[in-house]
Every structure is written in structure tokens, then in C-alpha cells.
Amino acid sequence: MKNIFRIIVFLFFLLSFNSSNSFSQNYKFSTADSLRGGLRPQRTCYDVYYYDLFVCVNVLNKSINGTNTIYFHVKENFSQLQIDLFNNLSITKILFRGEVLKYKRIADAVFITFPTEQQAGDTGKLFIAYKGNPVSAKNPPWDGGFVWKKDANGKDWVGVACEGTGASLWWPTKEYLGDEPDSMRITFNTPTGLTCVSNGRLINHVDFVDHTTNWIWKITYPINNYNVTFNLADYVLVTDTFVRSNNSKLSLDYYVLKENGWKAKQHFQQVKTMMACYEKRMGEYPFSRDGYKLVESSYWGMEHQTAIAYGNQYENNRWGFDYIIIHETAHEWWGNNVSCQDLADMWIHESFATYSEVLFEEYTRGYDTSVEYLLNQKWNIEDKHPIVGPYGVNYEHGDNDQYYKGAWMIHTFRNMLADDELFFLILRGIQHDYSMKCINTDQLIQYINNKCGVDYNWFFNQYLHYASAPVFIYSLKQKGKNLELYYKWKSDVQEFHLPIKVVSNVIGEYAFRKETLIKIFPNTGWKKVVIKDLNSTDFKVDQTSVYCRFEFVKKLKGVKI
């Protein structure tokens, strides 16, 4: 048995080495990354349908101890399965049908051996007890872990954020995004006098003589494990209601520090405008049974399902809205309702959530202002790595492109489509047809192609699978009153043929100038068009509807068209 595990470790090191060389020489994948990110028989053999998690939070020594009962379906015969728990947390017991099971730990993975082979079609439940001091976050929410803080009154203020780093930093789980439980119960034992807030609905809370309180929360929808969370503080509850277009009601609960109750009631009014926008553009709020919550946190924010961490100090940006509310709530649709199977496809969460900010700006202040908002974000784009990362290795993106380049890609696609009715039909269709499901990039692109009746793989391949942006190369030659425009795309995808708009006419001067745009259809070969009655000094390429780079060739040589 020991030799088998040595072979497993060696193979994971080999996989890590090959992955880093094939994707990026600057990104190193560890054994822990491969164990957490990859699929193998010990993970595919079972499917989790319910977690019953209990966590005792000891604030004084910054430790936790607890249990998790994992309910699972057997998909394939197995005698060994893998769960995940950070190695700094010790396992005190693993039980199955009353019998203590043996296990081996490799990095942050736990391989549990069963006494008899489990048969496909059966169900089972695995009981795991554990304890220890969880990782403390150095820079939450970007750096995952527990956040142990005090509020202005010196009272404890505790939370956890673990996207990227992983939920297994604080509870034993199957750390694979593609396997979400159908529902979940979470019980927290915390010091009495503070309020503990988690996902879903509060079922009950019980005070004990030892000055601790149990808080029992029930989640009635599938949830990805990095969204499971809690916040512990001296909270006050502010309640409100959003009335939908069909007159049904959605509960809005805001757990905020006591001194911020009045401020929250005023500032969070924008939630109702946002909900109206998102339900119009993307479909009904996905988690009506579990409600909607904002929970004040000591860090900036996180999209924890139905319990969004809010730490933006009740401030709007210069565009008139609170970024954390608008962006993190968009994840209830993109990320929490429709989820990716692998961190490599995190753009499905982040690109659409970022473009949802644009849709909110368009809803409240108009399309032109929303384009200004997009243009203001463009400087964040780096074009250093593909938006889609390598699969099976727990890849965490190190740049902003899954946010801002991804949002610009969606905006570019919308303008190329030139059919907003179809565009928003697609958005709502994705939310409806993949509701509570985990998907990958190929599935999503195929869905879009099917809805459009057109193969757009050439478009999405360029923006998602290559680091570089397409480059619009052009040259101008004045011929009397007319302007000859020579143009083409330089791209990694040879079939790339994105339309683009250019100025074809200018009327008036200064503040009264009015430009007319025409659409041209470049591909990766040189083309030519003659624009009548246009001076080269008035020529422009539209940069408001397409994301690309531009290259002007002053003197074009050797090109025959």
C-alpha cells in the first residue's frame, strides 16, 4: 500500500511539472493543486447530495472543531474515495456505518479506505470529525482564510472567505466544483451575545448554559463549496422587501453592525433597483426560498450564496452605485445559479458578473453612459494569459482579464450580434436551461451557437483561448476627395472575421460635428474599401463596440488587392 501511494505522489508531481510547462513558465502547479483540481476514480466514484456540517468556533484561540456528515450516491464500485481537508487541520475520527475507517493523507487530500467494496446505485453517509487552527487570511478576500477582527466597540467580528484557496481550508468536503450538494444544513456553535449568519434561512438558535449558542441554517438549493460561509458579529437585522413585476415578494435581509443600521436601510435601497434590472435582463432571482442577504464584513466583499459579504463602507462609486452590491449580487446568477465545473472556467462567473455592472449602468443611466463605464475599465486589461486556464490543476487566474477582457468580449459579441432581443434571450436562456447546474466553456459556447444558428467558435476561441487580443491593422491613402482604406485582422484564429465600424462621413465642426459610421467586414487577408468625400484626418475606427488592439501602417508596401 505504501508503494502505491508513493507512485501516486510521483505521478502528481509529474503532472504538475508538465502542466506548468505547457501553460506558463511563471505558474507552478503543486501536488496539492493537482489533487484538488483533477478528477480520478476516487472522486468520480461518488456524488455528494447533502452535507450536514457542524462547526464550533473558538474565538479566544482562533480554532475550530467540528464534524461533517457527507451523504453520497455511489456512481461506480469503489473501495476508496477522496475528500479534501487542509493538512494543518487534524482528523480525529472517520466513521461509516458505525465502523472506524482508515485513511491516508497526501498534501490536502484524504484517501479513505472502506472495509468492503461499495456498489454502484447504493447510498451512504460518511462521518468526519476534525479540529485545529484554520489558515488566517492575510489579505481577504483575495487571500483565503479566516478573518479574526474586532469591531469599533471591541467585540469579535469573525468571517471566512475561501474562493480560490478552497473550502477545505476549514471543513472536510469534496473540493470539486462540479459536484454540488442538492442542499445543506450548517450548525455553528459560537459565543453567546453575537449573531452568526450563514447561507440560506435561519432555522433556529439555541442558547446553552456554557454561554455558547447554536445557530442552525438550512440551504435548500445546490451550492458550490467555496460559497459556504459564516459571519459572526454584534449584528442588527434590517429587513426590506422587493416586489417583483408579477407582484410576488422577495425578502431582503441586511445583517449589519449595530451602529450602521440606519445607514444600511438608506444605502441598500439600490438593491431593489438592481433586482429589477437583473430580473429583467437575466431572469428571476434564483434563490427565492432562501432569500437574499447582505452581511457586513470586515473585508471588501464576496459572492457567498444568499449571504453576500459586504464591506464597502456604504460608498457609491462615481457612477452612482455601490460596486460590491452590484457585482457580488450578479454572482447569484453567474457563479451561484450557473456554475463552472473547474476553476479554469471561472470567466463564466466573473466576465458575466462584470458585464452585469454595465447592464445596471445601462438600466439606470442609459447605453452611452454604460459604454463610458466600459471604456473606463479597459485599462485593466493585460492580455498576458488566456482567459480560460488549464483544467484539472486548481488554476487561479493571476490577472484581471477574466473580469474586464471577458466583459469586453461579451460587449463585443453583443454588438456583433446587433440583435438585443436575441442577446438577452440568450442570457435568460442560459440562466433557465442551466439553472443549478455546473457547466464548462465548450457547453456554454455550443449553447450560444445553437441559439444563434451560427458557429461563433472562431470568435470565442480568439478571446478565451489566446492571450493576445486581435489586432485591427489598417492603412490610409488619400486619393483626391476620397479615402482608400486598406485593412485586415491579425489574430491567432485564422477564421477570425469580426465586423468593425469606421467613420465614413463628418458633418459640422467642433461641438457640432456629427460622424456617420459604416460597418466593414475584415478577415485575416487584406481588403480595400473606398470611402467617398472623407479626409484622412477625419477617419476613425470605432472603439466603443469592439475590444481589439489597433495598428496603423503609414506606408503599405507589396499589398495587391
Q: What is the CATH number of the domain that holds 493?
A: 2.60.40
Tell whether 461 is covered by a domain: yes
Same domain, 450 and 478: no
**Cα–Cα distance between 336 and 199 in angstroms, integer?**
12
Please indicate, yes or no, whether residues 542 and 451 belong to a single structural domain of this protein. no
What gap in Å lies between CA 405 and CA 383, rounded to an integer?
8
| Strand 308-310 versus strand 301-302 pairing type | antiparallel
126 in a domain, yes or no? Answer: no
Neighbouring residues of 99: CB distance < 8 A, sequence distance ≥ 6? 115
Are 402 and 424 within one domain?
yes
pLDDT at residue number 510: 63
3-state helix, strand, coil in the chain (%, to 5): 30, 35, 35
**pLDDT tens sequence across 424-481:** 999 999 999 999 999 999 999 999 999 999 999 999 999 999 999 999 999 999 999 9
Helix H or strand E encompassing 500: strand 500-507
Based on the fold, state whether residues 461 and 479 are members of the same structural domain. no
Domain boundary among 465, 481, 506: 465
**pLDDT on residue 183:** 98
Rounded to a whole number of angstroms, the distance between the first and last alpha carbons of the chain is 69
Whether residue 476 is contained in a domain is answered as: yes
CATH classification at residue 421? 1.10.390.10
Q: 486 and 453, same structural domain?
A: no
What confidence score (pLDDT) does residue 18 get? 39
What is the rounded distance in angstroms from the CA atom of residue 352 to the CA atom of residue 402? Answer: 9
Shared domain check, 443 and 372: yes
Which pLDDT belongs to residue 14? Answer: 40
> Is 42 within a domain?
no
Q: Can you spell out the DSSP letters for 375-431?
A: HHHGGG---SS-SS--SSS-----SSTTTHHHHHHHHHHHHHHT-HHHHHHHHHHHH
**448 and 403 in a common domain:** yes
For residues 461 and 482, membership in a common domain is answered with no
Kindly state the greatest CA–CA separation across the chain.
93
Is 295 contained in some domain?
no
Q: Are 412 and 462 in contact (CB under 8 A)?
A: no
Q: How far apart are CA 405 and CA 53, in angstroms?
A: 38
Residue after which a domain boundary falls, among 437, 465, 493: 465
User: Three cell numbers at 11?
Assistant: 505521478
Residues 35, 73: contact at Cβ < 8 Å?
Answer: no
Q: Where do the DSSP E strands lie in 15-89?
A: 46-58, 63-74, 78-84
Judge whether 507 lies within some domain: yes
| Same-domain check for residues 432 and 376 | yes
442, 465, 488 - which closes a domain: 465
Domain count, the chain: 3
Model pLDDT, residue 164: 86
Tens-place pLDDT, residues 374-415: 999 999 999 999 999 999 988 877 679 999 999 999 999 999
Residues making up the chain, counted from first to last: 561
pLDDT tens digits, residue range 6-63? Answer: 444 434 434 433 333 344 445 677 888 889 889 999 999 999 999 999 999 999 999 9
pLDDT in tens, 414-423: 999 999 999 9
* Integer Cα distance of 455 and 242 in angstroms: 40
Answer yes or no: do 449 and 527 share one domain: no
pLDDT at residue 494 is higher than 70: yes
Give the rounded distance of the alpha carbon of 252 from its chain centre.
22
pLDDT by residue (tens digit) across 522-544? 999 999 999 999 999 999 999 99
What CA–CA distance (Å, rounded) separates 469 from 491? 7
pLDDT band with cut points at 50, 70 and 90 for residue 511:
low
Between these two residues, 380 and 515, which has the higher pLDDT value?
380
- For 72, what's the count of Cα atoms within 13 Å in the CB-facing half-sphere? 27
pLDDT of residue 525: 96
Q: Are residues 456 and 346 in the same domain?
A: yes
**pTM (global) more than 0.85:** yes
Tell whether 92 is covered by a domain: no
Cα separation, 534 vs 108, whole angstroms: 65
Identity at 357, one-letter amino acid code: E
pLDDT, greater one: 534 or 514: 534
CA 164 – CA 161 distance, rounded (Å): 9
Q: Is residue 208 part of a domain?
A: no
Question: φ, ψ for residue 237 (rounded to 5)?
Answer: -100, 125
Place of cell 442542499: 183
What is the predicted pLDDT for the residue at 26? 55
Mean pLDDT of the chain: 93
Please give the angle made by the CA atoms of 402, 404 and 406, to the nearest 5 degrees.
50
Residue 448's SS3 state is helix
Residue bearing the bigger pLDDT, 514 or 160: 160
Residues 357 and 453 in one domain: yes
The parent domain of residue 510 ranges over 471-552
CA distances from 299 to 144, 197, 253, 302, 315 (A): 11, 16, 19, 9, 14
Mean pLDDT of 168-184: 97
- At 306-324, the pLDDT tens digits run 999 999 999 999 999 999 9
Mean pLDDT of 143-153: 96
